[in-house]
Chains A and B, each alone.
Chain A
Amino acid sequence: MLSLRAMLLPSLSSRVPSSSMAEEGGGEPPKGSLGWAIDENFGSFVKLAQKVNAEGAALQGSGWVWLGLDKELKRLVVETTANQDPLVTKGPGLVPLLGIDVWEHAYYLQYKNVRPDYLKNIWKVINWKYASEVYDKESS
């Protein structure tokens, strides 16, 4: 049973506590239509982050983790690609909203072999404003 608040402001439900947010809004969870879409497609923002982190940790070798918009099926997807393969290699109708580099060079100096720690922390500096702009533009 959703609370009135949750019904009126769904993008604020189940938010990851934004402890330290970059000055330019990095880490602030998506609001508006992308926030809605994330809740619809994955259940909650937290569940999306968990899914991305699980796929990122499990990726064998070098590659990328993606949150994408499937323009054809009008839904959000979490995908991975190997090496430097762009998201479109997983489907021509896929538009990248968010890409996380999980090549070792993206985190090794700081996180060494512990890729899951890198994934846990990168959410603090994700620019959802940009992802939302792309989503709005591509889903209109």
Chain B
Amino acid sequence: MAARPLLTRTLAIVLRRDSAALGAPAAAHSRGLHTFTLPDLSYDYGALEPAISGEIMELHHKKHHQTYVTNYNKALEQLHDALPKGDASTIVKLQSAIKFNGGGHINHSIFWKNLAPVREGGGEPPKGSLGWAIDENFGSFEKLVQKVNAEGAALQGSGWLWLGLDKELKRLVVETTANQDPLATKGPGLVPLLGIDVWEHAYYLQYKNVRPDYLKNIWKVINWKYASEVYDKESS
């Protein structure tokens, strides 16, 4: 069909023209390489106070997450170049940067959706099917919170806490991952419902070394509406 190649060529020209204005990362777009971007928050940086300070939210989003996005795109571009050359050594060497920065982008993108200001329902415990499932799997919402907080306080180094859905075994799990490893690294059938960042940058400016206080307070701004949506969708 002649129309489709024409459309593709036109799109490529448009993307190349636009990418010149957007700078180098977007230029990759015209070569068929997807460029990841920093997602916007649906709330102001200060909207989660006093649970999480605006200073932390801004640094966390604008600096930390942005850096993961930037470095993820860079690593993917290098991979894109190495693949057609069959440069196996480079392809393998890039895996660490891809996992770390890609994981950072994935995890933080989930994290921002896991949080909501109190006036938008942040902190309201889950109802409906997810509420039921929590009671079934952990005994009660309070017991879930205790378990997550205990695992979080005990996590050595940097990492994440997760409430996940095991699609295969049809049950909820609490897991931890190190550094920026996504939940999927603990099992391919695991779907993240809620992720809590316990890297020191997530709380240090406000809570200093007292990670347990951060964990105690973050529940006040957890967005259970989003977690419930994911649960309903993935457990149907």
Residues in chain A within 8 A of chain B (CB atoms): 60-63, 82-84, 103-105, 108-109, 112-113
Asked whether B37 is an interface residue with its Cβ less than 8 Å from the other chain, the reply is no
Asked whether B107 is an interface residue with its Cβ less than 8 Å from the other chain, the reply is no
Cα–Cα, bound, A84→B156 (Å)? 9
Asked whether B157 is an interface residue with its Cβ less than 8 Å from the other chain, the reply is yes
Q: Beyond the given A105-B200, A105-B204, could you list 7 further A-B residue pairs with CB under 8 A, ordered by the A residue number?
A: A60-B96, A61-B180, A83-B157, A84-B156, A108-B200, A109-B205, A112-B205
Q: In this complex, what residue of B is CB-closest to A112?
A: B59
Do B209 and A105 touch across chains, with their CB atoms under 8 A apart? yes
- Chain B's interface size range is 20 to 34
Interface Cβ pair total, 8 Å cutoff:
45
Cα–Cα, bound, A109→B204 (Å)? 7
Do A112 and B63 touch across chains, with their CB atoms under 8 A apart? yes
Residues in chain B within 8 A of chain A (CB atoms): 59, 63-64, 67, 96, 100, 156-159, 178-180, 199-201, 204-205, 208-209
The listed residue (A63, A83, A109, A113) touching B64 by CB distance below 8 A is: A113
Cα–Cα, bound, A10→B149 (Å)? 55
4 nearest A-B pairs in the assembled complex, by CB-CB distance: A104-B200, A61-B179, A83-B157, A61-B158
A-B contact pairs, 28 of them (CB 8 A): A60-B96, A60-B179, A61-B157, A61-B178, A61-B179, A61-B180, A61-B199, A62-B157, A62-B158, A62-B200, A63-B157, A83-B156, A104-B158, A104-B199, A105-B200, A105-B204, A105-B209, A108-B201, A108-B204, A108-B205, A109-B204, A109-B205, A112-B59, A112-B63, A112-B205, A113-B59, A113-B63, A113-B201
